[in-house]
Amino acid sequence: MKRLIESTKILRSKNAGPLFITFDLIFDGDEKMKYVQERLTKKMIAEAYGVEEDEISIIAYDVVHSIKITFPRKHISGSLEDDDIYGCQQHMPLANIEI
């Protein structure tokens, strides 16, 4: 097993509007992307972030060797409870998932 970040060229998080967070997983080839697609589950993501599986969207873009993962933010971006207004510091729980 290896951590997800070891299979990606780029792994980043950012806002998808004020209500959602999105993650971009970009690979340097089809082989690594397929490896991740076969192993990464909504359950793994739900456990890492404390969200419900049915709130998670995983979309593969085969032509550009990338996967987008989106789910609702726990706090609206910019609210008093929010600790990452741009959503760019949220990728490490995903990066450390073992696949």
Mind listing the pLDDT tens digit of every residue in the chain (99 residues)? Answer: 899 999 999 999 999 999 999 999 999 999 999 999 999 999 999 999 999 999 999 999 999 999 999 999 999 999 999 999 999 999 999 999 999
Residue 94 exposed, middle or buried by CB count within 10 Å (0-12, 13-18, 19+): buried
Could you tell me the residue ranges of all domains in the chain?
A: 4-95
Domain 4-95 has CATH 3.40.50: no
Q: In what order do the strands lie in the sheet with 10-15?
A: 10-15, 20-26, 66-72, 57-61
Look up the pTM and report it.
Answer: 0.94
